[in-house]
């Protein structure tokens, strides 16, 4: 499916601004961004529920920009997955095929297959009220997949589930999608969900696409300070970067730090005649090494500690601000509030983010 310059204006709001995206067959793409960034409007335009102001939607070579929703044949699962309460799971899943006048024996076979993929066989004769939230969500998925849609649209499909179930269902969603091989576009504001299930993530902000990348690439190389904070947690420091023939460096707490070539994702930094530019340097909490024996280059004091089960998170006061450090809980590295520590990181861990205009970070 290709989206070309998709734009939606509501009176004085441009909800979606010139969005282009090419989704490959079988690919799982997530639209990720904060509330109001235009994700749902994009999905609604693809589904045909919202008219397009400009641009086009191409499905398997056919322009469907102005097709009615039911002519598009897309599978759709919304946050409130309205199952038919008076129908069994089996009947709910069969409904779309009956509407399409598929023959009885084909219906039975396809429903059986869809229930198997969603691991719902033993619930086939139950009613929705007799199922848990996660099971109901799997019925909604099976119902959407059974029609073998060319594209499956998911709008915050897991947001009604509680935290544990949600995480479990992320893996389920990925498994079911891969097994069915269905091209999928999902809307979410949850970055962990987007990273864990998608082949590629599209980050949107104020109607515009600001980065499209594979989850790992996006996490390692966020294009802007906004993305580095929105996708995962990070520490940022404002520094003055100097470019010389020998390389690029900046000073932090009396140390000269030379940047590796891979550190600079954004190339449009304004460089002054002295060869300096203002930049934000970022380093992820898990890439910082904390040490109580003074092995690191930067001195600090533990201000706060948070136990997260698999991780400890420490807030460490340094000369260049409060730094968040995460350490895997391996029973060895437990630091107390008030303890003096030192911090360091591998030079590969640094990323330089060009500062966005004031008020836009
Ligand atoms: N029917 C409408 N009329 C006017 N403005 C609208 C309409 N629908 C959406 N908008 C506006 O368009 C912008 C994008 O909304 P959209 O619902 O696509 O965002 P979103 O990223 O999906 O947010 P959320 O995560 O909160 O659902 C918002 O500023 C919203 O107020």
State the pLDDT confidence band at 360, using cuts at 50, 70 and 90.
Answer: very low
Residues 134 and 30 reside in one and the same domain: yes
Instruction: Please report the pLDDT score of residue 263 as a whole number.
Output: 64
* Judgement on whether residues 222 and 250 belong to the same structural domain of the protein: no
Query: 294 and 264, same structural domain?
Result: yes
Q: Is the pLDDT of residue 255 over 70?
A: yes
Residue 111 lies in a domain: yes
Whether 278 and 137 map to the same domain: the answer is no
- Residue of 38, 49, 202, 203 to mutate, ligand 1, most atoms within 8 A of C-beta: 38
**Residue 77 falls inside a structural domain:** yes
Could you tell me if residue 358 is inside a domain?
no
- Taking only Cα atoms into account, the Rg of the chain, rounded to an integer number of angstroms, comes to 25
Cβ of 271 below 6 Å from ligand 1: no
On whether both 190 and 266 belong to a single domain, the answer is no
Q: How far is the CA of 13 from the centre of ligand 1 (A)?
A: 9
For ligand 1, atom 3, name the residue with the nearest CA.
10
- Judgement on whether residues 29 and 124 belong to the same structural domain of the protein: yes
Q: Are residues 301 and 166 in the same domain?
A: no
44 lines ligand 1 (CB under 6 A): no
Given a cut of 80, whether residue 324 has pLDDT beyond it is: yes
Residue 126 belongs to some domain of the structure: yes
Confidence of residue 294 (pLDDT cuts 50, 70, 90): confident
Looking at the structure, tell me whether residues 219 and 260 fall in a common domain.
Answer: no
CATH number of the domain to which 282 belongs = 2.40.50.140
The domain of 339 spans 233-353
Q: Angle CA(239)–CA(318)–CA(266) in degrees, nearest 5?
A: 25
| Most confident segment among 16-20, 94-98, 242-246 | 16-20
ipTM: 0.95
Q: pLDDT exceeding 70 applies to what percent of the chain?
A: 93
Q: How confident is the model at residue 274 (pLDDT cuts 50, 70, 90)?
A: low
Per-residue pLDDT reduced to its tens digit, 67-96? 999 899 999 888 766 789 999 999 999 998
CB 56 within 8 A of CB 14: no
User: Does 14 share its domain with 147?
Assistant: yes
Final residue belonging to a domain, choices 169, 192, 227: 227
CATH of the domain at 39: 3.40.50.300
Give yes or no for a contact between 174 and 28, defined as CB atoms under 8 angstroms apart.
Answer: yes
Residue nearest to atom 30 of ligand 1 (CA): 36
- Token reading at 127: 């009613």
Listed residues 227, 242, 274: the one ending a domain: 227
Which stretches of 190-248 are DSSP H helices? 191-197, 215-220, 225-230
Instruction: Look at residue 361 and tell me if it is in a domain.
Output: no
Token pair belonging to 307:
């136990």
Pocket test residue of 8, 11, 37 for ligand 1, highest count of atoms within 8 A of CB: 37
- Which protein residue's CA is at the shortest distance from atom 13 of ligand 1? 15
Asked if the model's pLDDT at residue 59 lies above 60, the reply is yes
User: For residue 360, is it within any domain?
Assistant: no
Tell me the β-bridge partners of 153: 76, 185
Mean pLDDT of the chain: 88
Q: What is the pLDDT of residue 122?
A: 95
Are residue 194 and residue 307 in the same domain, yes or no?
Answer: no
Both 240 and 212 in one domain: the answer is: no
- Both 41 and 187 in one domain: the answer is yes
Residue after which a domain boundary falls, among 227, 246, 278: 227
3-class SS string, 129-188: HHCCHHHHHHHHHHHHHCCCCCEEEEECCCCCCCHHHHHHHHHHHHHHHHHHCCEEEEEE
H/E stretch holding 119: none
Lowest mean pLDDT among 199-203, 236-240, 297-301: 236-240
- Is residue 27 within 8 Å of residue 200, measured between CB atoms? yes
Q: Is the CB of 41 under 6 A from ligand 1?
A: yes
Give the chain's domain count: 2
């Amino acid at each position: 499916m290709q989206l070309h310059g998709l734009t939606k204006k509501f009176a004085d709001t441009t909800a979606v601004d010139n969005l282009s995206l090419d989704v490959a067959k079988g690919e799982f793409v997530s639209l990720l961004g904060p509330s109001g960034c235009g994700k749902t409007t994009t999905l609604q335009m693809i589904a045909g529920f919202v008219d397009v102001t400009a641009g086009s939607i191409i499905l398997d070579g056919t322009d469907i920009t102005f097709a009615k929703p039911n002519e598009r044949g897309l599978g759709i699962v919304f946050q409130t997955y309205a199952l038919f309460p008076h129908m069994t799971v089996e009947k709910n899943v069969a409904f779309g095929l009956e509407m399409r006048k598929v023959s009885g024996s084909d219906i039975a076979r396809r429903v059986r297959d869809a229930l198997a993929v969603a691991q719902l066989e033993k619930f086939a004769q139950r009613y929705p009220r007799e199922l848990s939230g996660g099971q109901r969500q799997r019925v909604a998925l099976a119902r959407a997949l059974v029609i073998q849609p060319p594209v499956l649209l998911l709008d915050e499909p897991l947001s009604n589930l509680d935290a544990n179930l949600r995480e479990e269902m992320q893996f389920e969603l990925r498994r079911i999608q891969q097994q069915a091989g269905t091209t999928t576009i999902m809307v979410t504001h949850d970055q962990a969900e987007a990273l864990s299930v998608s082949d590629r993530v599209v980050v949107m902000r104020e109607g515009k696409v600001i980065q499209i990348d594979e989850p790992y690439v996006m996490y390692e190389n966020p294009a802007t300070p906004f993305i580095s904070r929105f996708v995962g947690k990070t520490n940022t420091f404002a520094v003055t970067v100097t470019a010389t023939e020998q390389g690029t460096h900046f000073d932090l707490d009396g140390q000269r730090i030379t940047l590796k070539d891979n550190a600079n994702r954004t190339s449009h930094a304004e460089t002054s005649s002295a060869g300096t530019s203002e930049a934000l340097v970022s380093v992820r909490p898990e890439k910082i090494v904390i040490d109580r024996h003074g092995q690191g280059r930067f001195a600090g004091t533990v201000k706060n500690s948070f136990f997260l089960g698999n991780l400890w998170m420490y807030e460490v006061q340094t000369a260049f601000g409060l730094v968040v450090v995460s350490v895997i809980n391996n029973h060895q590295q437990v630091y107390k509030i008030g303890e003096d520590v030192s911090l360091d990181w591998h030079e590969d861990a640094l990323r330089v983010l060009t500062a966005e205009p004031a008020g836009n970070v």
